[in-house]
């Protein structure tokens, strides 16, 4: 029973890290373009320590909502922020 719960938690954290990394890499690349102004909400991805705060300090009870939030943020950037 315990190993099943750990396995489930690991899958959620892996997904959170994957989505976070995609967003962070996208923000890093876009920040190199001086003609493009990044929305303030995405500037945190450029800060040192943001990844640890976002991923590793997430409580197991917050994993689902954190994943949904990251996906909405990624989708919102794609849809509304690019020229």
Count of structural domains within the chain: 1
Question: Residue 24 belongs to what domain range?
Answer: 2-80
CA torsion sign for 39, 40, 41, 44 is positive
CB 34 within 8 Å of CB 76 = no
- Residues 22-80 pLDDT 10s: 889 989 998 999 888 888 888 888 999 888 887 776 666 666 677 788 888 777 765 44
If we measure between CA atoms, which residue out of 28, 9, 12 comes closest to residue 70? 12
pTM of the model: 0.68
């Amino acid at each position: 029973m315990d190993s099943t719960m750990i396995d489930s938690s690991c899958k959620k954290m892996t997904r959170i890290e994957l989505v976070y990394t995609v967003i962070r890499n996208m923000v890093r690349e876009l920040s190199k373009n001086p003609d493009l102004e990044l929305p303030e909400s995405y500037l945190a991805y450029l800060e040192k320590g943001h990844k640890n705060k976002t991923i590793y300090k997430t409580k197991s009870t917050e994993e689902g909502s954190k994943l949904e939030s990251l996906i909405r943020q990624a989708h919102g950037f794609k849809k509304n922020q690019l020229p």
